[in-house]
Every structure is written in structure tokens, then in C-alpha cells.
Amino acid sequence: MKDSLSYPLSDRKKLLMLGILCLSSILYNIFYLFGDMRNLPALAALWIMGFVVLLLVNGYGFRIIKSSLNGLNELPNFNQWLEMLKNGAKILIVGIVYLIPIMIFTLIFYEYFFIYTVSGILGGTPLSILAYILEAILTTILHGTLFHVLAVKGFPLLVVLIYYVVIIPIYYVAIANLANNGGKLRTAFNLGEILEKTIKIGFKKISIFYLLIILIIYWCELTNIVYLILATLIVVPYLKIFISRFVGLIYIDTIQKEI
């Protein structure tokens, strides 16, 4: 945990580079809020660009996991962009496979969270969806409407919450397994092996990971556009690097214990 927290700051230029990529991926959102809604070509172009950049961001996260598995302590370089793009696409496929059951469930029973599930798949950030769900529950508690929400959507909300809590560690171990096996996509779906490694990580480490990540994500929940840009430029890439490093180290630690 200590290593993963300090790792993103080991090379501030690369952290900033990733921040620029993250900021580029949300230009569509900024234009949508403050631009001309009738300019459909510009919106379409920005959305496509944002999607491609998100694949690159996730591909870089994959590269961090892979370099961590290889025992490297420096942030990897931004090069071989096509390889990063391919690896980002693989992470997208892994997210679709592991999250599509809950995406179908929310579409049928709890459409309120459907769009967040889709965004989590595209962005490769299912943790942010879990944080949003917990934030929504906390908001209902603070406003005294929890019992009303539970009465209306109690069972679907519980299913969504449990699914994410269970699937997120499995999802990240699957990506680490993918990185540890030369990017062979089928290795991300060796469910028996992945479940075994996830269980070996242990409840305590997973709980600490959840707590820290959720605290960071809550801190990033800023509405002002200036703070949104700053958070996207600095905090989001820091979080991306931290998660990738942590996943790589925790995975290799599990393998070493097996040996």
C-alpha cells in the first residue's frame, strides 16, 4: 500500500502526461455542458476521441500492472501507442464480460444505475460505480429517505451493491492474470484460477483497498468545472496509477506465496 501510494509521484512528468490524456477523454463532457448542443459533428468527434483516449489510459494502466509484475519500480514510458490501444480494448472486453450481468439486471430492474454501469465498463473503472452507489445510499440516509428508497428499490439496490462488492476484486485479478500471461485474452476468464487467487489475497487487504479507494473517489466528487479539470488532470491519473500498481504488487505477492 505504501509503495503504491508513493509510486505515482515517482515521475511527475508521466503523471501529468496521463492527466492530459484523462482530461482529453472528458472534452466531450465539457463541450456538452458549455458548447453548442446543435453542433453534432463536433460532439461526435469529441466522443470518438474521448473513447479512443480512454482505451489508451486503460492500456497504460495495463502496462503499469505488467511492469509491476516484472519487478520494475519506474513508471513505464508512453510509447508503442498501438499496443496500449489494443490492451485498452482487451480491458474493455474483460469489463463487458464481467459486468454485463449487472448491466442487464439494472436495465430491467434498476435503470437508474444502468448508465453508470455502462460508463464503468467504457472507462475501466467499476470502483467508481461502487463509490457512487455507496454515496447514493449515504445521501438517502442523510436526507432521511433511506427507508423510502429501500421500500421502492430495496432488492435491486441490494443486488447491485453485492454484485459490485464481489466482482470488483475478481475483475482486477482477471486483468492482472491477463497481464501476467502475455496479454492472452482467454487467461482473463480462467475463473477457477482467478477465484483462487482472489480468495488468497484475503478479506483484510481487499477491505483496506476498498476503503482507501472510496475515500479518494469521494474527495474527487467536485462539481465546479475548475476543480473538475484539476481533479481530472491530477487526481484521476494518480488514482489510475495507484490502482494499477497495487493490483500488480498484490497479484505477484499472491504468486510468490504459492511458490
**pLDDT tens by residue, 19-48:** 888 888 877 776 766 666 677 787 788 888
Q: pLDDT tier at 216 (50, 70, 90 boundaries)?
A: low
Q: Using the predicted structure, report yes or no on whether residue 194 has a pLDDT greater than 80.
A: yes
Of 38-47, 57-66, 196-205, 214-223, the least confident? 214-223
Would you state the pLDDT for residue 223?
46
User: Can you give the pTM of this predicted structure?
Assistant: 0.81
Q: Where are the alpha helices (DSSP H) in 74-190?
A: 81-109, 114-123, 126-142, 146-180
Q: With contact defined as beta carbons under 8 Å apart, do 52 and 92 qualify? A: no
Q: What is the pLDDT of residues 54-95, one digit of tens each?
A: 899 999 999 999 999 998 899 999 999 999 999 999 999 999
Query: Which residue segment(s) compose the domain that 58 sits in?
Result: 2-258
Q: What is the mean pLDDT of residues 173-189?
A: 93
The structural domain count of the chain equals 1
Nearest alpha-carbon partner for 48 in 79, 27, 33, 17: 27
Q: Using the predicted structure, report yes or no on whether residue 149 has a pLDDT greater than 80.
A: no
Residue that is written with C-alpha cell 474527495 in the block:
219
Nearest alpha-carbon partner for 8 in 249, 244, 242, 254: 242
